[in-house]
Copies of this chain bind each other. A is one copy, B any other.
Amino acid sequence: MSVRAGIVVTGTEVLTGRVIDRNGPWVSERLGELGCEVAEIVCVADRPDDLRGALEFLRGGGLDLIVTTGGLGPTADDLTAEIVAAFAGREMVLDEAMEKRISEIVAGFARRMKFDPEGLRDGTRKQAMVPEGAIALDPAGTAPGLVVEAQGPVVIVLPGPPRELQAMWPAAIAAGPVAEVLSEADSYEVETMKMFGIPESTLAKTLREIERDIDLSPLEITTCLRRGSELEIDVRYRDTDLELRDSLFVAIRERHGSFIYTERGESIDAIVAGLLADRSIALGESCTGGLLAARITDLPGASAYFKGGVVAYSDRAKTDLLGVPADLVASRGAVSPEVAEAMARGAMERFDAGLGVGITGIAGPGGGTEEKPVGYVCICVADADGNVLARDPKLPGSRDDVRDRSASVAMHMIRRLLIGEDLPL
């Protein structure tokens, strides 16, 4: 049997678009890993009618499991527990053990913050009210979570702060009624293959071709283009279809092997980090303005191989800090393959690194010319053994897009140089 689930995200900030919701996607990924099919994510404001409507809608769809996030705070507009109780046809009752527990949790905090004791008592009592017969989950902050059987679906009620929600998740899925529902779920595996530099339509055509020879219908295949150039192929499959999944990957590999950079779902940043493990790298960035350095240092342990970088936004910084010859800048222009290479070599020398990267381009919106339009970017990756990879693509999109894609192309070029291959395009 397949288990279908729905998620209700509450919160005016999320609904009005001021805050990007991260709970819905997080819970959805976890449910997917547990073999549930997530049918809907519904986002509503903290209005009782809208929350009630969303719950009724999901129950009407015959879902087995509903997860709500948010609306468990101590103030009057936090209504989720009450609404879920009514939805499940249960009274709200005071859980005295929970009240004591929350009091202990907030006591020290409240003293430090000089909270008003009366407001605090009211808030604590409110948070300790639970639907009759529900399972209360220990708070990770001050709000307990809930598991409530609701005349059809089982409802998991979780707090809004992502840290609290995530901390409470293991207890939520271990709670009796939830564990029972989940035991019915098919178990799925997911593998992700990623390719760089191949259009989505080419892959779509390839998949149609492969389907002439192999029945792919037992697999759930999703393709997704990221950052304009990274194509991800997610394959969700049952244990028993492992061979079929293998055949699919083999068939794609036969046709487009040189474009594939992983079959295990890692990000290009993580792959490059792995390849750099016993090497060292330094950067000279202009139009990306530190983005590539920020991406490389985003990963823990980067200090083992990342020597540093210069963000050389002015011509003078290029010459003074990266040793780019001033006459090269004058004759070729600051945005030129020659300057990109000189920046790569300069970074390598100044930081005494085994690998150097230079990026210079026109991110826009201004500064473009006919010969060098907005989006024209020169990228060079060089190593101390004399290997060089250079590209000067015209990248589409906004200033943000051009900067982001430049850093991505550079990452893929670094990988190629490190594995001793040229780019296939």
Kindly supply a per-residue 1/0 record for chain A positions 264-298, scoring 1 wherever the CB is within 8 Å of any chain B CB and 0 otherwise. 00000000000000000001010011111110111
Q: Is the CB of A222 within 8 A of B18?
A: yes
Q: Mark A306-328, 1 if CB is under 8 A from B, else 0.
A: 11111111101100110000000
Contact A22 B20 (CB under 8 A): yes
A294-B24 Cα distance, complex, nearest whole Å: 28
Q: Answer whether A25 and B32 are a contact pair too, CB < 8 Å, given A13-B222, A289-B298.
A: no
Among A27, A232, A300, A398: residue with most chain B CB under 10 A: A300
A260 within 8 A of B: no
A26 touches B20 (CB 8 A): no
Residues of B near A320 (CB, < 8 A) are 350-351
B298 near A400: Cβ-Cβ < 8 Å? yes
Question: Are B15 and A28 in contact, with the CB atoms below 8 A?
Answer: yes
The verdict on A15 contacting B38 (CB below 8 Å), with A303-B313, A313-B306 known, is yes
Using a CB-CB cutoff of 8 Å, which residues 187-219 of chain A contact chain B?
199, 201-202, 204-205
Q: Are A311 and B290 in contact (CB under 8 A)?
A: yes
Within 378-402 of A, Cβ neighbours of B (below 8 Å) are at: 397-400
Q: Is there an interface contact between A283 and B311, defined as CB atoms closer than 8 Å?
A: yes
**Residue of B43, B288, B291, B309 touching A40 (CB-CB under 8 A):** B43
B residues less than 8 Å from A310 (CB atoms)? 308-311, 321
> What B residues does A26 contact at CB under 8 A?
17
Interface residues on chain A, size class: 35 or more
A1 within 8 A of B: no
Q: How far is the CA of A201 from the CA of B117 in the complex (A)?
A: 12
Name the residue on B nearest A207 (C-beta). B75
Which residues of the other chain, B, contact A313 by a CB distance below 8 angstroms? 297, 302-303, 306-308
Q: Which residue of B has the minimal Cβ distance to A399?
A: B300
A201 and B309 contact, CB distance less than 8 A: no
A151 is an interface residue with CB less than 8 A from chain B: no
**Beyond A307-B313, A307-B317, 8 extra complex contacts between A and B, CB < 8 Å:** A17-B28, A18-B25, A40-B42, A53-B57, A283-B311, A290-B309, A298-B403, A308-B311
Q: Which 6 pairs, one residue from A and one from B, show the smallest C-beta to C-beta distance?
A: A289-B297, A290-B293, A290-B290, A17-B25, A17-B28, A17-B29
Would you mind naming 24 contact pairs between A and B with Cβ atoms under 8 Å apart? A13-B224, A15-B38, A15-B40, A16-B32, A17-B26, A18-B234, A19-B224, A20-B20, A20-B25, A39-B44, A40-B42, A40-B53, A40-B54, A113-B199, A285-B290, A293-B293, A297-B313, A300-B364, A300-B365, A300-B399, A307-B317, A308-B310, A320-B350, A321-B321
